[in-house]
Chains A and B, each alone.
Chain A
Amino acid sequence: DGGITQSPKYLFRKEGQNVTLSCEQNLNHDAMYWYRQDPGQGLRLIYYSQIVNDFQKGDIAEGYSVSREKKESFPLTVTSAQKNPTAFYLCASIEGGPNSPLHFGNGTRLTVT
């Protein structure tokens, strides 16, 4: 079955460490996205990529970095510069076109202590 795989489901890190969240899709979608979800805040866009080797900052990119070396993969690195990294992170992709829905992975819950 096609879909988006995020791993791991739960991740724990010490403050000051960088951590990379994995996102892999086998839907052959060009565009991929990273969202952050906090209680009562809805979803906020971190980064997005519309094509391999290209990506753009979203609304809350500070303290995060991404790469898009392959169409299937869009890893997110949460750096030590991110002030409040503890959150639920969601990866998504889209086939294309303004009426196409986003397809989401099941998320990674990151806890930094």
Chain B
Amino acid sequence: GDSVTQMEGPVTLSEEAFLTINCTYTATGYPSLFWYVQYPGEGLQLLLKATKADDKGSNKGFEATYRKETTSFHLEKGSVQVSDSAVYFCALRTRAGSYQLTFGKGTKLSVIP
């Protein structure tokens, strides 16, 4: 079945540091890939997405590129802020079925001033 593997956290960075959160996947067919962010006590919000190989999703300074050859969708940001502290989830959806998402376990990011 489909699965998503994220790097384990927590990740602690100083403000303005470079961020990478690794995400690899296993799926049949050609999935769409997503990154969601969850702030404390809230639901998940879509951060970015990519729907085909070599697509780059970007939003709020975050980027991720759909790499089919390595089945990866790593999240990056060049300079993190304290306000980026949250839990980040990588997810995929295959074309067939119910449109449900398969999520990774999440990576907690803490950014310190």
Q: Which residues of A contact B45 (CB under 8 A)?
A: 104
Within 8 Å by CB of A99, from B42, B49, B100, B103, lies B49
Interface of B is mostly: loop
| Contact A106:B42 (CB < 8 A) given known A98-B32, A99-B49 | yes
Q: Is the CB of B43 within 8 A of A107?
A: yes
A42 at the interface (CB under 8 A from B): yes
A58: nearest chain-B partner, CB-CB: B100
Interface size class of A (residues with CB under 8 A): 20 to 34
Q: Is the CB of B98 within 8 A of A102?
A: no
Q: Is the CB of A45 within 8 A of B105?
A: no
B44 at the interface (CB under 8 A from A): yes
Q: Which residues of A contact B98 (CB under 8 A)?
A: 31, 48, 50, 56
Q: How far is the CA of A6 from the CA of B42 in the complex (A)?
A: 11
Interface size on B, residues (CB 8 A): 22
A99: nearest chain-B partner, CB-CB: B51
Q: How far is the CA of A50 from the CA of B12 in the complex (A)?
A: 39
Q: Is the CB of A106 within 8 A of B43?
A: yes
- Contact mask for chain A residues 85-110; partner B; CB cutoff 8 A; 1 contact, 0 none: 00000101010111111101111000
- Contact mask for chain B residues 96-113; partner A; CB cutoff 8 A; 1 contact, 0 none: 001111011110000000
Q: How far is the CA of A43 from the CA of B105 in the complex (A)?
A: 7
A-B pairs with beta carbons under 8 Å apart, 17 shown: A4-B43, A6-B43, A42-B103, A43-B101, A45-B100, A50-B98, A90-B43, A90-B44, A98-B99, A99-B49, A100-B99, A101-B49, A102-B101, A104-B44, A106-B42, A106-B43, A107-B43
